[in-house]
Amino acid sequence: MAKLTSRNEDYSKWYNELVTKADLAESSGVRGCMVIKPYGYAIWEKMRDEMDRKFKETGHQNAYFPIFVPKSLFEAEEKNAEGFAKECAVVTHYRLKTDPENPQKLIVDPEAKLEEELIVRPTSEAIIWNTYKSWIQSYRDLPILINQWANVVRWEMRTRLFLRTAEFLWQEGHTAHSTREEAVEETEKMLEVYADFAENFMAIPVVRGVKTPSETFAGAEKTYCIEALMQDGKALQAGTSHFLAQNFSKAFDVKFTNKEGKLDYAWATSWGTSTRLMGALIMTHSDDLGLVLPPNLAPIQVVIVPIFKGEEQLAQISEQALNIVSKLKQKGISVKFDDDTQNKPGWKFAEYELKGVPIRIAMGARDLENKTVEIARRDTLTKETQPIDGIENYIENLLKTIQQDIYNKALNYRDEHITKVDTYEEFKRILEEKGGFISAHWDGTEEEEQRIKDETKATIRCIPLDSQPEEGVSLITGKPSKQRVLFAKAY
């Protein structure tokens, strides 16, 4: 197995190689669309199940809405439509027929043209609010707290596996409320659900913040986000929660009778995370040997590799190994005993390092004698010898330790890469030399934001929710500012 390109050599190449070699995903025969392979999908399933649990715990229900949005509905909320118009895959016909000039071929049947074109959903606010119209008459029908797991399509010109693909999998929450306050509260609650999930399940530290107007979701009044930092110093938006105010209820005429008996438009939120999180996972934790998976997300948490000469030794080791397998399974730990005889232990070690299996147990003849095993951690690459007796408890605790250590490592890296700067010169120097988040003053205008973006490629990732008021002057215009914001180059 050829080694991965190292991160230092070419970060982008390292990422692409890792995604394909670790069997997470690959490009498909369809421009910009990916195939999520079983190993990658198993990780996504773990993310999905945990998020789904959290959504249900916070009172949400799943539902499913059509993949197609008729053009007339799509354009009803103008800003939203404008924001996505350039990325829309459009269905115009509903039938193929045999090519009269070449009976081996099929052509689009020109007689089967749709009266109205259908957009393949890039996001579902339009189709969902058109549905909510008939569901909402009174404040008693509210709140509506619905989530959908679905595929969406955004026709991107430059695509990268997981990070930016023409089709991706995601969840989109769409809620309706009777008051502004309740909708804002929901928006903030779901941001916290995302942040908690990212940090405590994916071991990815995130900054909770609010987007500037230029980065706000098309159709929202306010977009909250969680921003993570990748190992190359670039930021990645890991989830967004939008306060949509009454924009969609007005566009789709969704009115209800409130407690006072007056008609009002419903208040809305939407929030989403996607398979992009797979990219965040990979780029936050992995190294030059391959994936590093937090135990919570690892399809295989422990692998046992026998080191043997001849069948008799293998049989002896297997007996002990299967005993350990059974004890670990009883604790709900997913474990694989790799007794394949085609590949040598060294090959297996490299393979499971590439796949990010958190703990590797090696068992040889001497271990059998000593009633011990060798335990190797994927995250630290350290090894130690432990007695077989009680190994299941040791492993159970070690998995928790690894989960926490992986998070702490990412947190340290992130915190070391938030730099306060006060001049534009320093800003450019830090961005070039160190990368990461740069905490700086901004004059609050789109002009300054845009100029910085044009000149440095850095954007305002967010106005952090926990940032303290601080008097200062903005980077370029020198105008007064009351708060620092976070800049970074981003995925």
Q: Does 322 bind a copy of itself (CB under 8 A)?
A: no
Pick the stretch among 37-45, 212-220, 231-239, 286-294 that binds a copy of itself (CB under 8 A).
Answer: 37-45
Please give the Cα distance from 253 to 28 (Å, whole number). 41
Q: How far apart are CA 32 and CA 245, in angstroms?
A: 33
Residue 80 makes CB contacts below 8 A (sequence gap 6+) with: 123, 125, 126, 218, 219, 247, 248
Q: Which residues fall within 8 angstroms of residue 482, CB to CB, at 6 or more apart?
A: 469, 470, 471, 472
CA angle, corner 407, sides to 374 and 359, nearest 5?
20
Candidates 3, 12, 30, 331; binder of a copy of itself (CB under 8 A) is 30
Q: Specify the residue, 356 or 436, whose C-beta has the smaller distance to a copy of itself.
A: 356
Which of 47, 51, 73, 282 lies at the binding interface for a copy of itself (CB under 8 A)?
Answer: 73
To the nearest whole angstrom, how small is the minimum distance from the Cβ of residue 32 to a copy of itself? 9
Across 80-199, where does the E strand assignment appear?
Answer: 90-93, 96-99, 102-108, 113-120, 144-153, 167-177
Tell me the closest approach of the beta carbon of residue 30 to a copy of itself, in angstroms: 5
Verify binding: residue 125, a copy of itself, rule CB under 8 A. no
Q: Which of residues 102-121 bind a copy of itself (CB under 8 A)?
A: 104-106, 108, 117-120
- Residue 315 binding a copy of itself, by CB under 8 A: no
Site membership for a copy of itself, residue 16 (CB under 8 A):
no
Helix 276-285 vs helix 11-21: crossing angle, to nearest 10? 110
Which of 80, 123, 130, 241 is in the footprint of a copy of itself by CB under 8 A?
Answer: 130
Q: With residue 70 as reference, give the H or E element that holds it.
A: strand 68-70
Q: Do 119 and 88 touch, CB atoms closer than 8 A?
A: yes
- Residue 338 as a binder of a copy of itself (CB under 8 A): the answer is no
Total binding residues toward a copy of itself, as defined by CB under 8 A:
61
Identify which range of 35-43, 172-180, 348-356, 467-475 contacts a copy of itself by CB under 8 A. Answer: 35-43
243 near a copy of itself, rule: CB under 8 A: no
Three-state SS string over 219-276 comes to: CCCEEEEEEEECCCCCEEEEEEEEEEECHHHHHCCCEEECCCCCEEECEEEEEEEECH
* Structure tokens that stand for 463 in this block: 């106005």
**Nearest Cα residue to 438 out of 485, 478, 470:** 485
Contact mark string toward a copy of itself, 353..372, x via CB under 8 A: --------------------
Residue nearer to a copy of itself on the CB measure, 90 or 315: 90
> Which position among 90, 315, 322, 381 is part of the footprint of a copy of itself (CB under 8 A)?
90
* 104 vs 468, beta carbon nearer a copy of itself: 104
Which of 11, 16, 89, 164 touches a copy of itself by CB under 8 A?
89
Task: Single out the residue of 10, 13, 35, 401 in contact with a copy of itself (rule: CB under 8 A).
Answer: 35
Residue choice 11, 155, 349, 413 for contact with a copy of itself (CB under 8 A): 155
Q: Which stretch binds a copy of itself (CB under 8 A): 6-14, 80-88, 351-359, 460-468?
A: 80-88
Window contacting a copy of itself (CB under 8 A); options: 101-109, 311-319, 354-362, 387-395: 101-109
The binder of a copy of itself chosen from 8, 29, 466, 468 (CB under 8 A): 29
DSSP 164: B
Torsion sign across C-alpha atoms 173, 177, 183, 189: negative
Structure tokens at 198: 């990212």
What phi, psi does 236 have (nearest 5°)?
A: -140, 125
Instruction: Report the site for a copy of itself in 168-227 (rule: CB under 8 A).
Output: 169
Residue 475's SS3 state is coil
Binds a copy of itself (CB under 8 A): choice among 67, 365, 418, 465: 67
Q: Is the CB of residue 355 less than 8 Å from the CB of residue 39? A: yes
137 binds a copy of itself (CB under 8 A): no
Going by C-alpha positions, the residue among 302, 171, 297 that lies closest to residue 240 is: 171
The Cα angle at residue 277 between residues 271 and 282, in degrees rounded to 5:
165
Out of 12, 61, 397, 412, point to the residue binding a copy of itself (CB under 8 A): 61
Burial call 104-122: b when 16+ CB within 10 Å, e when fewer: eeeeeeeeeeeeebbbbbb
User: Smaller CB distance to a copy of itself: residue 73 or 460?
Assistant: 73
Least distance CB 376 / a copy of itself (angstroms): 26
Q: Which member of 4, 34, 406, 488 binds a copy of itself (CB under 8 A)?
A: 34
Among 10, 85, 389, 423, binds a copy of itself (CB under 8 A): 85
**Is-contact 465 472, C-beta < 8 A?**
no
Closest distance between a copy of itself and the C-beta of residue 225, in Å?
26
**Nearest approach, Cβ of 381 to a copy of itself (angstroms)?**
28
Handedness of CA 237, 242, 247, 252 (dihedral sign): positive
Interface with a copy of itself by CB under 8 A: which residues?
Answer: 26, 28-30, 33-38, 41-42, 45, 61-71, 73-75, 78, 81, 85-98, 104-106, 108, 117-120, 127, 130-131, 146, 150-151, 153, 155, 167, 169
